[in-house]
């Protein structure tokens, strides 16, 4: 039996001005990655990594397509950034992600020595930067992340992920 057709993504991509490379600009790029994830029937989470004002990595969830539980947007983006920069230490880099990172992704960001994480939507069930737990609160950790929670595109990113799960629960025959 063939897999059901994915629910079409009703959201449009954003085209932010490249003149203001601020949190809203980079989060818009992460949002676009999340839309790509939805279009591939993946949970719509997108991540972008900025270093020195430039995008050094961009990815979205690929767990289903790759049958890999570690293929989260953040993990894929960290791997891309390390390859592009030629160093696993991503000191000075900022990760923009549409949903609060899980324990695996948060831990990888600490291990990569990322400077800052900016996420749009808190995750009280699995988030590990203040949602369900706070990795930064571990007293013996050798690195702390600067965390910016909410703000840039929070409402848009929340609407995107909630609409995805509403459509999933409704099934292919229901609106």
Q: Which pLDDT score, from 0 to 100, does residue 41 have?
A: 95
Query: Residue 154: its pLDDT value, please?
Result: 97
- As a whole number of angstroms, the distance between CA 108 and CA 78 comes to 8
Are the C-beta atoms of residues 145 and 114 closer than 8 Å to each other? yes
Contact 142, 132 (CB under 8 A): no
Give the active site residue among 12, 40, 64, 74. 74
pLDDT digits (tens, 9 = 90+) for 70-120: 999 999 999 999 999 999 999 999 999 999 999 999 999 999 999 999 999
| Distant-in-sequence, close-in-space partners of 175: CB < 8 Å, separation ≥ 6 | none
pLDDT value at 171 more than 80: no
3-state secondary structure of 36: helix
Asked whether the predicted pLDDT for residue 1 surpasses 60, the reply is no
Judged against a pLDDT cut of 90, whether residue 159 lies above it is answered with yes
pLDDT tens, position by position, 11-64: 999 999 888 899 999 999 999 999 999 999 999 999 999 999 999 999 999 999
Query: What are the residues whose beta carbons fall under 8 Å from the beta carbon of 140, sequence distance 6 or more?
Result: none
pTM for the whole thing? 0.93
Residue 128 vs residue 174, higher pLDDT? 128
DSSP alpha helix (H) spans, 2-153: 23-39, 63-66, 73-85, 103-111
**Which carries the bigger pLDDT value, residue 45 or residue 175?**
45
Q: Is 74 labeled as catalytic in the residue annotation?
A: yes
Inter-CA distances, 99 with 59, 125, 139, 148, Å? 13, 12, 25, 12
**Taking residues 139-155, what's their average pLDDT?**
93
Q: Is the pLDDT of residue 173 over 60?
A: no
Residues 73 and 60 sit within 8 Å (Cβ to Cβ)? yes
């Amino acid at each position: 039996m063939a897999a059901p057709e994915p629910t079409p993504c009703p959201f449009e991509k954003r085209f932010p001005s490249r003149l203001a490379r601020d949190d809203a600009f980079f989060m818009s790029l992460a949002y676009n990655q999340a839309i790509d994830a939805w279009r591939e029937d993946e949970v719509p989470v997108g991540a972008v990594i900025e270093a020195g004002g430039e995008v050094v990595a961009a990815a979205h969830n690929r767990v289903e397509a790759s049958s890999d539980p570690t293929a989260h947007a953040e993990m894929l983006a960290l791997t891309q950034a390390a390859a592009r920069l030629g160093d696993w230490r991503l000191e000075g880099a900022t990760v923009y992600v549409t949903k609060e990172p899980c324990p695996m992704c948060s831990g990888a960001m600490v291990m990569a020595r990322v400077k800052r994480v900016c996420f749009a939507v808190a995750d009280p069930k699995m988030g590990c930067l203040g949602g369900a737990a706070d990795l930064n609160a571990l007293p013996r950790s050798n690195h702390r992340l600067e965390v910016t929670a909410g703000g840039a595109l929070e409402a848009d990113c929340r609407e995107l992920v909630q609409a995805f799960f509403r459509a999933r629960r409704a099934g292919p025959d229901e609106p």
